[in-house]
Amino acid sequence: VNVTYVAASGSRQTVAGNVGESVMQTALNSGVDGIIGECGGSMACATCHCFVDEAWTDKTGTRMDGEEDLLDCAAVEMQDTSRLSCQIRLTPDLDGLVVHLPESQT
C-alpha cells in the first residue's frame, strides 16, 4: 500500500509500505525525513507526530488511549488531525494515504 508523506516544505514522497506495519515504520524503512520514531513505536516519545490529511481522517480512525497526552508534548503543537504515526497500522483500505509532517520532531 502506498503512503505519501508531505514535508512541511511541501515536498512529497510516496513510498510503498506493508500491511500491518505502522506509518512510522514505513517512513523509517524508506528513509523518509521528518519522522524519527525514537521510542520504536511504544508510544513514549512523540517524535513520530504527523497530521493525517483531512481526506483520510475517517479511515485512520480515532486516537488510541494515551496518544493525546503524548501529542501534547510534541515539538509542534497538535491539531485536530494530529496522530502518532506509530499508532496508525497500514491496512489495504489505507492505500494512497496522505500524511503531513510537522516542521520539527524535537
Compute the least distance from the CB of residue 65 to ligand FES, in Å.
13
Complex with ligand FES: residue 10 or 73, whichever CB lies closer: 73
Compute the least distance from the CB of residue 38 to ligand FES, in Å.
6
Cα–Cα–Cα angle for 35, 58, 72, rounded to 5 degrees: 45
Q: Which three cell numbers stand for residue 19?
A: 500491511
CA dihedral sign of residues 22, 67, 51, 39:
negative
Complex with ligand FES: residue 17 or 37, whichever CB lies closer: 37
Binding site for ligand FES (CB under 6 A): 24, 37-39, 41, 43-48, 84, 86
Complex with ligand FES: residue 34 or 37, whichever CB lies closer: 37
Compute the least distance from the CB of residue 86 to ligand FES, in Å.
3
User: Phi and psi for 53 in degrees, rounded to 5?
Assistant: -55, 140
Complex with ligand FES: residue 44 or 55, whichever CB lies closer: 44
Say if CB 37 and CB 49 are below 8 A apart. no
Alpha carbon distance 55, 65 (integer Å): 23
Compute the least distance from the CB of residue 16 to ligand FES, in Å.
20
